[in-house]
C-alpha cells in the first residue's frame, strides 16, 4: 500500500479512478498525482501484484523520452533490443529502407527504437508511482458495475477475496483493453475492424548479420515480418495469413513459405528449426468517435486499438497519457473539457489515418491486390517524432530531431 494511505476505505472517494493497470495507466496516474498533489488517484487492476504481462513492445524514441521524464529508470541492458532500420520487401526484392535513429538537439545522444518486455517496463514504472502519497493501486480487483449520477461515478468493485466495495470518483478512465466494457456506459460510438485471418508468432534463435531491423516481406496473399532483437537477442517472426481462419496456437508451425520469405530479408532459417516459442492471434483496430464523454476518458486500446504488427498502440497510449494529464487536471479543477477536446481534434485524425493504413493494407493483402504504397512509410514517419506538433503537448519531445 502506498505510504500515507492507512486503509482501502480512505480511498473509497477519489478524484480519478483508472481501470486497468498497464504502463500507460501508470504514466497517467503518476503524472496526475505528481502535478496535482491534492488529487486522489487510484488504479484498479484485476491481476494480482505479482502478475506481469509476458508480451513485448517496440518503444519509439518520443515514448522513451516521456518514460524518462516520468522518472522511470530502466536497467542498462533493458534497451538491448534496439532497431535501427525499417525495411520492406516485395516478392523477394527490397523496395524501401528507412533509418529510425534520432539525434538529440542539444546534446550528442542518439535515440533508437527498442524492443522490450512489458514486464520490465512495469517494474520500472511501479516504484515511481508507489512513492506518491496521493496514489494507490488496488490489485486483484474488478469493476462489476459503474453508474454516473450528479457528476460522480459510483463503482461496485470486487476484490480477490470476493468482497464487494463501492467507490466514488469524479473521473473514470477506461484503460482495460480493446474489449472495454466501460465504453458502453457513456454512449461513445465504436467501430471495430478485424484482421482478415490470423497471425502466427514464432521466436527463433537464428540472427541476421548487419544492423538490427524490422523487415516486412510481402508475398502473394500473405506476408512475414522479421523483427531483430524481438525477444532479447532472439528473432521474432510474424506470419500474417489473411485467409479468414481463426487463430489456433496448437497448429502453429514454421511454414516453408515463411522460410522462403525471411531468406529474402537475409535470415537463414533451416527447414527443421524448432521455434523457441509460438502463439497465434487475431488483432483488430478500434475507432471511437471521441475519447472523453460525461466523465469517462478512454485510454490505450479502449480508445484506439491498433493491429499488433504496427508498433503503434503502446506508444500512442503512453504519449496520450502524458499529453492529457494537464488537461485532466484542468477538467477536474474547472469542469471544462475544452483542453481534452482540443487534444482530440489534434490527435484522433492522426490515429485514424494510421489505422486506415493498417486496415487497407491487410484487406488488400487478403484480396491479392496490394498496392505500390509502402506499408512501412507511415510507421517510419510515426517513429521519427510521433505526430507533428506533439511537442506542444509533451515539451521534452521537442528535444529530438530526425536523423537525416
9: CB partners within 8 A, 6+ apart: none
Range of the domain at 131: 8-79+115-193+284-376+392-402
Residue 176 lies in a domain: yes
Distance, in Å, from the CA atom of 247 to the CA atom of 111, rounded to the nearest integer, reads 36
Helices (H) and strands (E) in the chain, counts: 8, 23
In this structure, are 274 and 305 located in the same domain? no
246: CB partners within 8 A, 6+ apart: 198, 282
Give the residue carrying C-alpha cell 522479421.
226
Distance, in Å, from the CA atom of 132 to the CA atom of 146, rounded to the nearest integer, reads 27
Distance, in Å, from the CA atom of 183 to the CA atom of 249, rounded to the nearest integer, reads 30
394: CB partners within 8 A, 6+ apart: 62, 65, 66, 319, 322, 323
Helix 118-130 to helix 61-69 angle, to the nearest 10 degrees? 30
* Domain stops at, among 266, 281, 296: 281
Residue 101 lies in a domain: no
Give the residue carrying C-alpha cell 535501427.
84
Residues 332/335/336/339 CA torsion (nearest 10 deg): 0
- Secondary structure of residue 266 in the 3-state scheme: coil
Parallel/antiparallel/unpaired status of strands 56-59 and 114-117: antiparallel
Q: Using an 8 Å Cβ cutoff, are 72 and 127 in contact?
A: no
pLDDT, tens digit, 9 for 90 and up, residues 67-119: 988 899 887 777 778 899 999 998 788 988 888 887 666 566 778 889 998 99
* Domain stops at, among 281, 308, 343: 281
Q: Of 354, 332, 342, 338, nearest to 392 (Cα)?
A: 342
- Model pLDDT, residue 401: 57
Residue 222 lies in a domain: yes
* Domain stops at, among 281, 304, 332: 281
- Model pLDDT, residue 248: 96
Q: Give, in order, the Cα–Cα distances in Å from 193 to each of 181, 269, 275.
A: 17, 33, 30
Parallel/antiparallel/unpaired status of strands 41-44 and 13-19: parallel
Give the count of domains, the chain.
Answer: 2
In this structure, are 244 and 140 located in the same domain? no
Residue 100 lies in a domain: no
Residue 263 lies in a domain: yes
- Secondary structure of residue 49 in the 3-state scheme: coil
- Model pLDDT, residue 134: 95
In this structure, are 268 and 291 located in the same domain? no
Q: Using an 8 Å Cβ cutoff, are 14 and 168 in contact?
A: yes
Residue 250 lies in a domain: yes
Q: Using an 8 Å Cβ cutoff, are 178 and 195 in contact?
A: no
Sign of CA dihedral 253, 230, 385, 336: positive
Distance, in Å, from the CA atom of 288 to the CA atom of 286, rounded to the nearest integer, reads 7
In this structure, are 172 and 296 located in the same domain? yes
Q: In the chain, which residues have pLDDT < 70? A: 1-11, 103-108, 309-310, 371-375, 383-385, 401-404
Q: Using an 8 Å Cβ cutoff, are 339 and 327 in contact?
A: yes
The CATH number of the domain holding residue 339 is 3.50.50.60
Q: Give, in order, the Cα–Cα distances in Å from 114 to each of 59, 78, 86.
A: 5, 9, 12
Distance, in Å, from the CA atom of 173 to the CA atom of 25, rounded to the nearest integer, reads 9
In this structure, are 126 and 259 located in the same domain? no
In this structure, are 120 and 219 located in the same domain? no
In this structure, are 304 and 242 located in the same domain? no
In this structure, are 143 and 246 located in the same domain? no
Parallel/antiparallel/unpaired status of strands 102-104 and 400-402: antiparallel
In this structure, are 273 and 325 located in the same domain? no
In this structure, are 174 and 263 located in the same domain? no
- Secondary structure of residue 27 in the 3-state scheme: helix
Residue 109 lies in a domain: no
Distance, in Å, from the CA atom of 288 to the CA atom of 192, rounded to the nearest integer, reads 9
The CATH number of the domain holding residue 237 is 3.30.70
Largest CA distance in the chain: 65
Residue 338 lies in a domain: yes
In this structure, are 275 and 397 located in the same domain? no
Distance, in Å, from the CA atom of 240 to the CA atom of 281, rounded to the nearest integer, reads 10
In this structure, are 48 and 124 located in the same domain? yes
- Secondary structure of residue 251 in the 3-state scheme: helix
247: CB partners within 8 A, 6+ apart: 198, 199, 200, 280, 281, 282
**Which residues does residue 67 pair with via DSSP β-bridges, in sequence order?**
none
Amino acid at each position: 500500500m502506498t505510504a500515507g494511505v492507512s486503509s482501502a476505505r480512505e480511498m473509497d472517494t477519489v478524484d480519478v479512478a483508472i481501470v486497468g493497470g498497464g504502463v500507460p495507466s501508470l504514466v497517467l496516474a503518476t503524472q496526475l498525482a505528481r502535478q496535482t498533489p491534492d488529487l486522489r488517484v487510484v488504479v484498479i487492476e484485476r491481476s494480482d501484484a505479482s502478475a506481469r504481462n509476458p508480451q513485448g513492445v517496440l518503444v519509439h524514441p518520443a515514448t522513451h523520452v516521456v518514460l524518462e521524464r516520468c522518472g522511470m529508470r530502466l536497467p542498462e541492458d533493458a534497451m538491448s533490443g534496439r532497431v535501427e532500420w525499417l525495411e520492406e520487401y516485395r516478392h523477394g526484392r527490397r523496395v524501401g529502407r528507412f533509418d529510425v535513429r534520432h539525434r538529440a538537439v542539444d546534446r550528442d545522444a542518439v535515440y533508437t527504437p527498442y524492443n522490450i518486455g512489458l514486464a520490465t517496463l512495469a517494474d520500472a514504472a511501479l516504484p515511481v508511482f508507489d512513492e506518491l502519497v496521493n496514489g494507490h493501486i488496488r490489485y486483484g480487483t474488478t469493476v462489476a458495475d459503474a453508474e454516473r449520477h450528479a457528476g460522480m461515478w459510483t463503482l461496485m468493485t470486487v476484490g480477490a477475496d470476493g468482497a464487494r466495495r463501492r467507490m466514488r470518483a469524479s473521473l473514470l478512465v477506461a484503460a482495460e483493453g480493446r474489449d472495454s466494457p466501460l465504453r458502453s456506459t457513456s454512449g461513445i460510438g465504436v467501430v471495430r475492424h478485424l484482421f482478415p485471418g490470423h497471425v502466427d508468432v514464432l521466436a527463433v534463435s537464428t540472427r541476421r548479420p548487419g544492423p538490427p531491423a524490422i523487415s516486412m516481406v510481402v508475398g502473394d496473399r500473405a506476408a512475414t515480418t522479421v523483427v531483430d532483437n524481438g525477444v532479447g537477442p532472439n528473432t521474432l517472426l510474424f506470419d500474417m495469413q489473411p485467409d479468414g481462419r481463426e487463430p489456433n496456437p496448437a497448429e502453429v508451425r514454421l511454414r516453408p513459405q515463411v522460410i522462403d520469405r525471411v531468406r529474402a530479408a537475409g535470415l537463414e532459417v533451416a527447414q527443421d528449426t524448432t521455434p523457441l516459442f509460438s502463439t497465434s492471434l487475431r488483432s483488430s483496430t478500434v475507432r471511437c468517435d471521441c475519447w472523453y464523454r460525461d466523465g469517462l476518458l478512454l485510454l490505450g486500446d479502449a480508445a484506439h486499438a491498433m493491429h499488433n504488427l504496427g508498433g503503434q498502440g503502446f506508444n500512442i497510449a503512453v504519449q496520450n497519457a502524458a499529453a492529457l494529464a494537464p488537461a485532466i487536471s484542468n477538467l477536474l479543477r474547472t469542469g471544462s473539457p475544452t483542453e481534452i477536446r482540443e487534444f482530440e481534434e489534434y490527435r484522433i485524425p492522426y490515429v485514424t489515418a494510421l489505422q486506415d493504413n493498417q486496415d487497407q493494407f491487410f484487406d488488400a493483402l487478403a484480396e491479392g491486390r496490394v498496392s505500390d504504397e509502402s506499408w512501412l512509410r507511415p510507421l517510419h514517419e510515426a517513429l521519427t517524432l510521433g505526430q507533428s506538433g506533439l511537442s506542444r503537448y509533451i515539451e521534452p519531445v521537442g528535444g529530438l530531431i530526425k536523423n537525416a
